[in-house]
Chains A and B, each alone.
With several copies, the nearest count.
Chain A
């Protein structure tokens, strides 16, 4: 080692800070809700890819309705469930911008089913971030499409009865099955490894869009400590132990074009 390196070794380096693409505003999310974490991860990747000035967001109706205020992006709030249609309108006008939607499970999988299926089906070149917290968070914890079998919510007081309500919806699998989707993955954020994987999935989804590969979607198993009646840590454990069993993590669709991107890194 030469002298110069030793000197430098004493320097303190900032290794983690608030991403630039995140505004200074405190979010309205409840304490420990991973909505915030997912917002942050998206901001980090936007910083990393240097696309903050080139990206337009479409916020949902749901706990993330303020997404447009949390990210330093041009943005619009779509009617409940219609974010993919609004995003389509934007992207068709501005094909060289990155267009992202951020949607809850009620928003995307219930009222917005048609719009997301059609956006995937047409292979619209946008990226949808899908936050699956197994209930309608914002309205106070009603049963969502993704509510697990037997899970108690304010509208399934006896637990979700799959006889009358069907099995929970696996959006990643469903959208992966459509010809227009290029990249579909399901992630979680309950520990360092899953957070890293989530960030990688976000990155790949956005790179897919930037490469014009078609529709990309990243599903996140997300916590809702408030409506689940759990502490934030317990909520993460519940995701890990209970949700993942029904909603396996991983990549469900990697089109050839995306495969090539992935190889390139």
Chain B
């Protein structure tokens, strides 16, 4: 079994790092995993995305046309990836910035007010981790605690101060979807 996740948003929204949290956690769980970044034409501040594929068998393609799961951090990403999610897949979106309503009936939508939650934690930069926490809670592809540990284990020394906010964000993301209730099964 393999699961593919695309996390997309503005350059500054930490989508590559969000992907890394997933990838490290998968590695720590001894799963196969690939992480692949892509940038838009802007030097900085444009759109960016990370594709993470994980599973229990050797991974062929690290890029996917139709991901199982998408995290859309902003409006353009929502609009770009909504039609691409694999039928039966899930679209997590940052409800703080995305007002669009989902139009497909064959995928599940999960709205997470990530910026708002991050602001509560005190650092809007961890909105990405909020989304990842939500993803973990809803999909179960990786246990929340594995993600929390991973952040502790792999955060580079220069950014140790970000360990706690990220862990907190993961937990709050998980909580908020729990609060929202389990999404409908497709």
Contacts and interface: CB of A to CB of B under 8 A. Distances in A.
Tell me if chain B binds chain A: yes
Interface of A: 28-31, 33, 63, 137-138, 226
Interface stretch (B41-49, B60-68, B81-89): B41-49
Given A28-B43, A30-B44, A226-B45, 14 more contacts: A28-B41, A28-B42, A28-B46, A29-B43, A30-B42, A30-B43, A30-B45, A31-B45, A33-B43, A63-B43, A137-B43, A138-B43, A226-B43, A226-B44
Contacts of A30: 42-45
A29 B11 CA distance: 13
- Name B's interface SS: loop
14 contacts: A28-B41, A28-B42, A28-B43, A28-B46, A30-B42, A30-B44, A30-B45, A33-B43, A63-B43, A137-B43, A138-B43, A226-B43, A226-B44, A226-B45
A31 B42 CA distance: 10
A93 B42 CA distance: 34
B94 to A, nearest CB: 21
Nearest to A66: B41
Interface in B33-51: 41-46
Residue from A28, A31, A33 having most chain B Cβ neighbours under 10 A: A28
A138 B44 CA distance: 9
Contacts of A28: 41-43, 46
A28 B47 CA distance: 11
A138 B45 CA distance: 13
A29 B44 CA distance: 7
Contacts of B46: 28
Nearest to B42: A28
List 8 A-B pairs, minimum CB-CB distance, nearest first.
A30-B44, A226-B44, A28-B42, A30-B43, A63-B43, A28-B41, A30-B45, A28-B43
A33 B45 CA distance: 12
A226 B46 CA distance: 12
